[in-house]
Structure 1
């Protein structure tokens, strides 16, 4: 019997596939920003995703859920931050930073936010203080990002 916390091969494959799709998305959005504008590059994936979600929902016809609690106001901010993220990654994609620096900055930002969320128990997560291993991983990601951004084009 395997331990619940041991990583499985499928987990690694899923993580690499997701990273590959993210890289392709940033590349496509950067191309859209060149041919159109940053706003256009943000609208295309959001409209496409919304249409696909509507089609899937219509095809699956899920049962209507009865609301048990009122949704907090901040839950609606994800769309705004997503649109701004797409616009910023599209802008940096077409600069000297290119796709590598853009992905590195995104990874660094995710790591910082995850440590903050753990520290203060945000979004219902259990509170957990960052370990030395967490801080070492963050330091390596930040160092790699700095090297990519400032010395990658040399």
Structure 2
């Protein structure tokens, strides 16, 4: 059984909250681009912008802190699949945000999918993660997220 993790740092909670806000902006912007140019174009714009930003970041990182001489292990092959899942995610969210689901429904169902997949990854030790026994509260969390998603989508308030 793995050791109990350290208590949550408030700064980490704030960063997670801010990243959720950025995710919302990203989905909204991608949806607008998808509305006017199509979902494939939306994915190209998002990934082209990300590629340019990554190149600038890597060049700045290399200039500010040159890498130490040493050997690094190569990334596992599955690590390169992130670009494919990212492209599909952008296309799917760009399409669904322009339907009756709208932005909040798209994000709510996306959150439910992320939590469900993370629980499966913990349970079966996917991607090199340590296996973890799921508790009843994990199922309760999924039910509450799906319930909240359904309220957001079908609630008329």
Q: For this structure pair, what is the TM-score category when the shorter chain's length is used for normalisation?
A: 0.7 to 0.9
- Any idea what SS the aligned residue of 2:21 has? helix
The residue aligned with 1:143 is: 147
The residue aligned with 2:112 is: 108
| 1:28-76 Cα shifts (integer Å, max 9, x gaps) | 001101121111111111011111111121222242763535x443322
CA RMSD of aligned residues (A): 2.0
The residue aligned with 1:43 is: 44
TM-score, structure 2 as length reference:
0.86
The residue aligned with 1:121 is: 125
Quickly say closer, same or farther: Cα 1:80–1:153, change in 2 above 3 A.
farther
- Distance in 1, matches of 2:25 and 2:17, equals 12
Gaps spanning 5+ residues in structure 2: where?
none
- Any idea what SS the aligned residue of 1:130 has? coil
TM-score, structure 1 as length reference:
0.88
Stretches of 4+ aligned residues off by more than 6 angstroms: none
Gaps spanning 5+ residues in structure 1: where?
none
